[in-house]
Chain A
Amino acid sequence: MAQLGSFALMLALALSAYSFVFGLVALVQKGRGTERLAETARRAGIATFAAVLLAALVLAVAAFQNDFSIAYIYHHTNRDLLWPYKLAALWSGQEGSLLFWSLLLAAYGLVLRLRHKTDQRLFAHASVVIAGIQIFFLLLLNFAARPFGLMQGAMPTDGAGLNPLLQYPEMVIHPPMLYLGYVGFSVPFAFALSALVMRYPGEKWIHITRRWTMVTWAFLTCGVFLGMHWAYAVLGWGGYWGWDPVESASLMPWLTGTAFLHSVMMQEKRGMLKTWNVWLIFITFMLTIFGTDLTRSGMINSVHAFAQSSIGGWFHSFLLIIFVVCLVAYLKNSSFLRSEHKLESLVSREASFLFNNLLLLVACFTVLWGTLFPILSEWVQGHKITVGAPFFNRVNVPIALLLLLLTAVGPLLAWRRTSTESIKRNFKWPALFAVLAGVFLVATPRSWGGPFGMRPWTDISYFYSLMAVMLAVLVAATVISEFVRGGRVISRHTGQNLLASMVHLGHRNTRRYGGYIVHFGVIIVIIGFAGSAFNQDKEQEMTFGDQMTIGAYTLKCESFTQDDNPNYASEWAVMDVFKNGAQIATVYPERRFYKASQQTSTIVANRSTLKEDLYLVYEGQSQTTGHPIIKAHLNPLVMWIWIGAWIMLAGTILALVPNAVPVRAAAQVPVRDAVTVGAGD
């Protein structure tokens, strides 16, 4: 089994090397026969997918067959592990996750190479870049992080087991989502580098990569939110985001990728920001490699990093090579990236995109600085200084609020310049709604709990929460006004009712209106974040019949008990939950001890509603009395975060759907071709 897997990886490396070297030769050489050479290079790239897939299948089969002669299978599985977690073992350890990275890259490469007829030469360049990236990962898998390494000595009868923190349903899908996001950015990177090297005229490479980038961004978004949900449900500290280095590593490419998705519109629409866009995608790709390095090399301590090793040097060298290649390509071809237009006014849609990009990059730099600070401080001062959540929040919360303001303002501004009259016309009502929302939150009684009865002057976090909700209302109002106004135009032309017209509108320009739905999802998420200013928690030792009160809830300990199964032993409490004197639920906070790995894990009992989460953690037993210690958290509006994430995903899916064909009606413009009246992009 191991022999077959190792052979497949070696063959994959040889195929990738062929695809890279001969693909490059075919591009550089001119003359007869180069097309045939290029075709063999393309096919070698496709065959790489088959070889890597074979290796991944061998590893998965070995996990299901409990083949503990393979060291990776021994270290990450055991006989009693449930089958979904045996599958998840493929990406739970370093070697497996690098193989998974390579498999996903090969799959993306396969799709790219199969679509080569779209633009033969551009795709041939991109194929070479993808092959170059693939070589790096296959070198790692063949020489530095071998997934098919064998156990020394006698064959063990059982494995060491999977890390308990990973034995949670979301961990079966969270890493693949995150990796699909990370790896996916290789494709726009490959096209951007190719377009630059070729001095490819026009914006077609952006049209080609637009869907790739959106799909990748959607996967990364899913990965980030699944990671948050996993941290919330499994780590048992009551929060979903702790600015852990690995969380930050996934956020950074998301921030630059989001910036790219916005700024690329300026290149498509106005031929502007070409250099900026190329560097944004270069940086995004480098951040995905950096994120993988951070997660897998053990460079920084993290609750999410499930591997420690010495492969950091490989990643740092690869990052350096990428940077040098990008820089040389840019310096040689920078004249090709001249903008076709200049920024005409600071009050224009172009300017709003530019500010949005600057803010996203500042946020990204702040996160990078905070993440690397322990390493930098160790270099400079000799000891590690870790920066915590207060640093990240102090910088990023105001940035997020400004971004929210731009999200509201941007769509209502015109390209080129916007007059004062236009601003008044578009912002009067949304601004009024936002102010009314703020007044309502301050005026409502505090007894309503959560964000009601806000006193923004008493604490900065309350002030930020109030601003977040007001800006969220502003964005919602502008999004709704865009749909209503557009719907009215369609309604006038087609005679449909307003709702049907708005649906029609969404179909006619999926990218724009899908984007608005993503913005709507973002504000729902932001409202969820705003709720964290009102979090409460309480810890108490509890025996039979003991009670604890938190917010409007009273908790009563009915019993505590223990259980045992082949995979783990567990102890939990049975807690009745009362609200206004009536029992509303019974919950079971639990703590597990996994036998194979000899590690404990928390299973949180969470009663989630739109208003708040009642989140209970079984902290263990008191050493003096033997009674369970229960920690209760009351977290307002958390459910909004998960709902917002679903809305963002729905908006992205809509944006990916091709536009319906607009009704053709000649507009009054003195150019010869008919211009159709439809929703623009």
Chain B
Amino acid sequence: MTPATLLCILFTAGTLFYVFYLPGVLQLGPRKTRLAFLLERKEAVYENLRDLNFEYKAGKFPAADYQAMKTSLEEEAASLLAEIAKLEQAAQLASSRVNPQTNPQPKKGASI
């Protein structure tokens, strides 16, 4: 057996061991939900608001433009928050059905 052949065999054995010898419990990551999407979108809108505030303070926009843009972003944020609150309530309700002891209370002011 040549050294190259031996190396080929050892390399293959190592590779097969790595690929197929798995630990007993696998570490899995989170799954994406509609709620996660809305929370992301909320962050984006908040970032837009921060951006707008900063640019206004930097003197880039007149007050009238700023107010109009701010109102429009706030409306978008409000509708997102409303849907987020709805989904959170539904999730809590579902978990209370599975485990009635938890007795969830809806968040104060969750609906807008």
Do A119 and B54 have beta carbons less than 8 Å apart?
no
Measured CB to CB, the closest approach of chain A to B47, in angstroms, equals 6
Residues in chain B near residue A46, CB distance under 8 A: 18
Q: A40-B20, A680-B52 are in contact. Are A116 and B29 (CB under 8 A)?
A: yes
Q: A119-B29, A119-B32 are in contact. Are A202 and B37 (CB under 8 A)?
A: yes
A622 within 8 A of B: no
Using CB atoms, name the residue of chain B closest to A15.
B15
Chain B 11-47, CB-CB to A under 8 Å as 1, else 0, gives 1100100111010001111111110110011101011
A122 to B72: give the CA distance in the assembly, Å.
33
Residues in chain B near residue A3, CB distance under 8 A: 2, 4-5, 8
A-B contacts counted at CB < 8 A amount to 158
Q: A120-B28, A121-B31, A416-B69 are in contact. Are A677 and B57 (CB under 8 A)?
A: yes
Measured CB to CB, the closest approach of chain A to B88, in angstroms, equals 13
Q: Contact check: which of A1, A412, A415, A675 meets B46 at CB < 8 Å?
A: A675
A671 within 8 A of B: yes
Q: A4-B8, A7-B8, A54-B11 are in contact. Are A204 and B32 (CB under 8 A)?
A: yes
Measured CB to CB, the closest approach of chain A to B29, in angstroms, equals 4
Do A202 and B48 have beta carbons less than 8 Å apart?
no
A546 within 8 A of B: no
Chain A 111-139, CB-CB to B under 8 Å as 1, else 0, gives 00000111111100000000000000000
B residues 61-93 with Cβ under 8 Å of A?
61-62, 64-65, 69-70, 72, 74, 77-78, 81
Chain B residue total in the interface (Cβ 8 A): 53
Residue of B5, B15, B41 most packed against chain A (CB within 10 A): B15
A47 to B37: give the CA distance in the assembly, Å.
34
Do B48 and A419 have beta carbons less than 8 Å apart?
no
A residues 664-681 with Cβ under 8 Å of B?
667, 669-673, 675-681
Measured CB to CB, the closest approach of chain B to A267, in angstroms, equals 10
B98 within 8 A of A: no
Residues in chain A near residue B103, CB distance under 8 A: none
Q: A1-B4, A485-B58 are in contact. Are A671 and B15 (CB under 8 A)?
A: no
Chain A 414-432, CB-CB to B under 8 Å as 1, else 0, gives 1111110110011000000
Residues in chain A near residue B4, CB distance under 8 A: 1, 3-4, 7
Residue of B47, B58, B65 most packed against chain A (CB within 10 A): B58
Do B59 and A202 have beta carbons less than 8 Å apart?
no
A120 to B51: give the CA distance in the assembly, Å.
32
A663 to B65: give the CA distance in the assembly, Å.
25
A676 to B50: give the CA distance in the assembly, Å.
6
Classify the secondary structure of A's interface with B.
helix
Do A486 and B54 have beta carbons less than 8 Å apart?
yes
Residues in chain B near residue A425, CB distance under 8 A: 59-62
Using CB atoms, name the residue of chain A closest to B50.
A680
Do B19 and A15 have beta carbons less than 8 Å apart?
yes
Do A4 and B55 have beta carbons less than 8 Å apart?
no
Do A35 and B15 have beta carbons less than 8 Å apart?
no
Do B19 and A47 have beta carbons less than 8 Å apart?
yes
A residues 58-89 with Cβ under 8 Å of B?
none
Residues in chain A near residue B27, CB distance under 8 A: 117
Q: A15-B19, A47-B18, A271-B41 are in contact. Are A414 and B11 (CB under 8 A)?
A: no
Do A412 and B70 have beta carbons less than 8 Å apart?
no
A620 to B34: give the CA distance in the assembly, Å.
71
Do A202 and B58 have beta carbons less than 8 Å apart?
no
Do A4 and B7 have beta carbons less than 8 Å apart?
yes
Do B40 and A203 have beta carbons less than 8 Å apart?
yes
Do A669 and B70 have beta carbons less than 8 Å apart?
yes
Residues in chain A near residue B44, CB distance under 8 A: 203, 268-269, 271
Q: A40-B20, A119-B32 are in contact. Are A679 and B54 (CB under 8 A)?
A: yes
Residues in chain B near residue A201, CB distance under 8 A: 32-34, 36-37
Residues in chain B near residue A150, CB distance under 8 A: none
Q: Contact check: which of B37, B49, B55 meets A675 at CB < 8 Å?
A: B49
A50 within 8 A of B: yes
Residues in chain B near residue A489, CB distance under 8 A: 54, 57-58
Measured CB to CB, the closest approach of chain B to A44, in angstroms, equals 5
Q: Contact check: which of A4, A203, A426 meets B60 at CB < 8 Å?
A: A426
B109 within 8 A of A: yes
A390 to B41: give the CA distance in the assembly, Å.
47
B96 within 8 A of A: no
Residues in chain B near residue A40, CB distance under 8 A: 19-20, 22
Do A8 and B11 have beta carbons less than 8 Å apart?
yes
B53 within 8 A of A: yes
A11 within 8 A of B: yes
A488 within 8 A of B: yes
Do A414 and B65 have beta carbons less than 8 Å apart?
yes
Q: List 5 A-B contacts (CB under 8 A).
A: A11-B12, A43-B19, A54-B11, A117-B29, A486-B58
Q: 5 closest pairs, A vs B, by CB?
A: A680-B51, A201-B37, A202-B37, A485-B58, A120-B29
With A1-B4, A672-B109, A677-B54 given, name 10 new contacts (CB 8 A): A40-B20, A43-B19, A51-B15, A119-B32, A271-B44, A416-B69, A489-B57, A669-B70, A669-B77, A680-B51
